Structure 1
């Protein structure tokens, strides 16, 4: 261990870290551009420049060994590795091309009317009530119908998809209480999930069918298309739900920003981007060194795990002016909440569309938005998540 590398006894999966990640993020950033986490024998980066560098350099920092704590070079993954998230070029190029085509902004724009219908229904219901839970009554009520429907899945099974996705994200962390509880809830749905994502179960015209169309073009096998659909569905609900819920929290606690959005609902997209920067739903992901590398002057041996603190990078004062201020007019599009480089989130366009539509509908229908009680975080290994968000609105 080089003597100049700070060695920290910080556990990003511990309860105290989850309770107050921002304090730990500041400590990590101040410690240095590269640190060593003694508990997991892993390297870590928390400043924007180094996180950005690691995420973009797949040749030195690969994803094929797993983007969670587990190192696939040393242990067997619990499921077949994702052809998207856990692969690098050249193997990554064809699956990425298939999914990028199926989920391109142009391809998903045709679902806008249905997303708008679901958003209007969900917003109208909560505005009529006045007081509601932003997580379950608004965001979840909207997404568990709109997202599965767009993919061609049964919209009545959205809560099962949430349970399965919760397991998938939690298992990127260590085998702790959270991952064990998530497995107990999600693993009984494993065979059901595989069946739901099969070609015969998906409605024609949906995003899932668009992925399977690659089989007919000779670009993928049936098995590969199934793996791609499962990856997209697994990642498509939980993180988006958390991202929108945190946006609502920030707008409810920043009256000036809510007033600006209410006056100009076109600010819905910038508000979402700024919330992604401020409270990044995916807090951290791993990469693995393919060879001995030098990063910010630190030499890291080959086949070592490197933890990228995305949430910390997105509040790094070296990159952002006044980073702890929520400003929906900030140009926040270079945040790292969706990753960067060839592994940038392929579903970002649909998440942005879902958020923009819901926030726009709320801004038009509600004159005020404020907290109606204390929020309750949802403990999670990877996601910065909310279980309850009491809100109060008055109709416009």
Structure 2
């Protein structure tokens, strides 16, 4: 995997950075990325990804440094492989994720207020009722697809309701979110196939995010009210509704799906949650650390800088391997062990710093509620075959996870 030489795109890396020849977006790597991430960490704190002509950081300390220094390693050049400062963007940049201060402060303030812990707290009772009803129904039928029937179905109901979307057509949210996160990687076959199928979903998204189609009192309506108050423009309000959908939906779906896969694989860990549902939130944090929803995204240097002993020029893309940092044995004890008793509050699954994932609180809330609802009724998750991975350039999760839910009262 390691060699010294020029990369395929004709750019020579700075001295001191080991050259990595693997493709981090290949199906082979994505099927089980953690051994490859370990090789990258062992190669050095900063490496050169030959195929894409970019540097990468995979150790916890290096990832933390890049994410917390937004002035040197910016998001405004795009959190994907394309450099918006030197290349013409093929899409509009996110007005929260891909802008710097002061523009970032203005839009993020509105967004964060609407998705504040206080606002989400008002939804908890309704979210809990929906989760309990869903689990009761699925336990009664015994066999389900954990992705389709739980990880997707629950957020598509409760979060889409909270945003204010009409009930019809919500299936379009799935290909839309898939495209958003595929776009943060290279324009590979996965990206192109996703884009080719997107037309109807884009049209639906653009229509339902208009003010007239959002229910009164919803998160979406609040964004337009902020525009009425002059905090943002009305065009920005529509863009932020779309941002809310991508920030708060796919992250939740993959987090819940990954949790179900972990607990089916490690029944002793599910037993610990079942016996003490109070650790559900802590268990979700361990899921986020162990099998991170986000695997990677990019930052870009704003000026010449020395990072891990290597001199970098301005406008240099850096691949930030979030999932690798969350398995770094120099930071975590027994890093490759899934342990719900661990207190992994410092995990970087949703990033950190001013550009941490804007929808992370809703993802954590929904996942915790679903876990507690399952703990109340399900003694064992029995996996019916191997889960099917969903391949995406940025996020990791499953497309199918067949389960038998064994209820407490039915267990012999």
**Range class of TM-score, shorter chain:** over 0.9
Q: What runs of 5+ residues in structure 2 fail to find an aligned partner?
A: 1-12
The CA distance in 1 between the partners of 2:341 and 2:149, in whole Å, is: 28
Q: TM-score, normalised by structure 1?
A: 0.97
Q: What do residues 261-303 of structure 1 show as CA deviations (whole Å, max 9, x unaligned)? A: 1111122111111000011111000001001111121111110
**Match of 2:404, SS?**
strand
CA contact (8 A) 1:115 1:354 kept: yes
Task: Tell me the residue number matched to 1:280.
Answer: 292
Task: Tell me the residue number matched to 1:57.
Answer: 69
Q: Does 1:134 pair with 2:146?
A: yes
Task: Tell me the residue number matched to 1:339.
Answer: 351
Number of equivalent positions: 396
Q: Does 1:81 pair with 2:88?
A: no
Structure 1 residue 158, shift from structure 2 partner: 2.3
Structure 1 residue 304, shift from structure 2 partner: 0.7
**Match of 1:155, SS?**
coil
Q: What do residues 25-74 of structure 1 show as CA deviations (whole Å, max 9, x unaligned)? A: 11111000000111111000000011111111111001001000111123
Task: Tell me the residue number matched to 2:258.
Answer: 246
Q: Does 1:71 pair with 2:72?
A: no
Q: TM-score, normalised by structure 2?
A: 0.93
Q: What runs of 5+ residues in structure 1 fail to find an aligned partner?
A: none
CA root-mean-square deviation? 1.3
Structure 1 residue 156, shift from structure 2 partner: 3.3
Task: Tell me the residue number matched to 1:366.
Answer: 378
Structure 1 residue 113, shift from structure 2 partner: 2.3
Task: Tell me the residue number matched to 2:7.
Answer: none
Runs of 4+ more than 3 Å apart = none
Task: Tell me the residue number matched to 2:303.
Answer: 291
Q: Does 1:147 pair with 2:159?
A: yes
CA contact (8 A) 1:196 1:202 kept: yes
Task: Tell me the residue number matched to 1:313.
Answer: 325
The 5 Å alignment of 1:174-189 reads 174-189=186-201
CA contact (8 A) 2:247 2:357 kept: no
Task: Tell me the residue number matched to 1:376.
Answer: 388
Match 1:223 to one of 227, 230, 235: 235
Task: Tell me the residue number matched to 2:207.
Answer: 195
**Match of 2:206, SS?**
helix
Larger deviation: 90-99 or 180-189? 180-189
Q: What do residues 162-193 of structure 1 show as CA deviations (whole Å, max 9, x unaligned)? A: 11111111111111111111112223322321
